[in-house]
Amino acid sequence: MSKTSQKLKALERTPPWEWPEHAGATLLGALRDRGAAADDRVLAAELAGEGVAMDDALAKALVAVVRGADEPDELSATAAIALGPTLELCETEGFDEDDDMNDAPISERTFGEVRQALRATFDDPNTPKLVRRRVLEGAVRAPQDWQRDAIRAAYVSDDSEWRLTAVFCMRFVQGFDEQILASLESPDTEVEAEAVRAAGEWGLVAAAPHVLRLLRTKGTEKGLLVAALAAVATVSREEALELLPDFESSDDPEIVEAAEEATHLAQIDWNADLGGEEDEDDDEPPSEPATGDGTPVQGAGPPAGGGGGGGRGGGAGGGARAGAARAGPRPGAYDFRTVEPPRRPDAEFRRAGASAPPPAAGRGAGAFEDPSGGTMRRTCGPGPSHDGGWNPRRYDGLRGSGLRRTRDETAGARGGASGPERRPAGRLVSAGS
């Protein structure tokens, strides 16, 4: 085993907040070394998604791998997903140079370059399908207008993998309530699970009967069960508090973890005074921007690229959100509140289809831990995006140099060929996870 392999394996076994100072250099060297073993470079890209070693140089190295026409598809796809958590962190943190607690890991210029590179890769018809899917799944962590059309085209595609990616992306981009609810009835359990997660993310009350049925039915497939646990607190809070204790006594630690996280979320009354400290620097949030109805583009095949400008949109399609009632956190429904965080982080490395620990359901979920034992508080609620626009998914928080990112997420990975086995520090997840 080479020294590079040994170093990467050591990082893989070590919680990210305990990584040595040279971790970033190790990852950067492996990504740039085309003579390194393919498995080592894939692992380096995956570990880069943990975010703790991210900087401009590492982000640009990942972009170079994504854009490299002669790079292996698996490596390019992993690199694209690895950029997702950094994009989301920059989107939520912004680039305020006067904010001493700003944790954006890369510069605003590099942030823009990464977004442009991902879009160019997606728009290139010669990009392999797996890479294009992962590019879209990573890019939606910092939503832009072009992604709406890409999601719509993927959703109406005859390709089941593109539909899976589309529903995964609906977790992050507004305006697809109707499609999310329709996807709950999909015969594809991976699509169904992604729809359940998306319903939980946006607090769609209309999804409550489906989510509760999954929880109450014996023999529900584990991936669906974990997704339902992640969603129940925001779609049916009262029932969640009744059902979750049974799952907290499960023999399966993943089920217990999901149930405990959901219980924490369900115990928070987002529309009541939480008794926390108000953030004096935050202004009263403006009303939710108009978004479209998210109606799919009929007859579209697998997306050949996005339309529209590259500017940040208020959601996936304009107009009021598609008619479904919601519970839990939603744009404009509550003031900024400071709450104590749950046990796990929210900055996930996602890809569609992965069987992973449940994402923090709902946009108001705090999901952080401070390994150093210090106090971490998170201000929850919608707020301005980095470029001054309205970002319903903004949270003031993600503070602390020891912030752990436990999940690397994408659509559809279940370990093995779709993603690695679970590591102590995190795992690769994507559409269908």
Region class of 275: left (phi > 0), else alpha (psi between -120 and 50), else beta: left
Q: How far is CA 156 from CA 150, 213, 320, in A?
A: 10, 27, 22
pLDDT, position 410: 60
- For 207, the domain range is 3-432
Phi, psi of 284 (to 5 degrees): -60, 125
pLDDT tens digits, one per residue of 308-335:
333 323 233 222 223 334 443 333 332 2
CA separation for the pair 179, 155 (Å, rounded): 8
pLDDT tens digits, one per residue of 364-404:
333 333 333 332 222 232 333 333 333 333 332 222 222 22
pLDDT, position 429: 56
pLDDT, position 103: 79
CA separation for the pair 273, 270 (Å, rounded): 8
Q: How far is CA 258 from CA 181, 201, 230, in A?
A: 22, 15, 6
CA separation for the pair 207, 198 (Å, rounded): 10
Q: How many domains, in total, are found in the chain?
A: 1
Q: Regarding predicted confidence, which is higher, 332 or 41?
A: 41
The pTM of this model reads: 0.70
* Residue 424 scores a pLDDT above 60: no
Average pLDDT over residues 352-375: 36
Phi, psi of 430 (to 5 degrees): -155, -165
pLDDT tens digits, one per residue of 118-147:
999 999 999 999 999 999 999 999 999 999
Residues in the chain: 433
CA separation for the pair 302, 305 (Å, rounded): 9
* Residue 209 scores a pLDDT above 90: yes
CATH at residue 259: 1.25.10.10
Q: Regarding predicted confidence, which is higher, 345 or 412?
A: 412
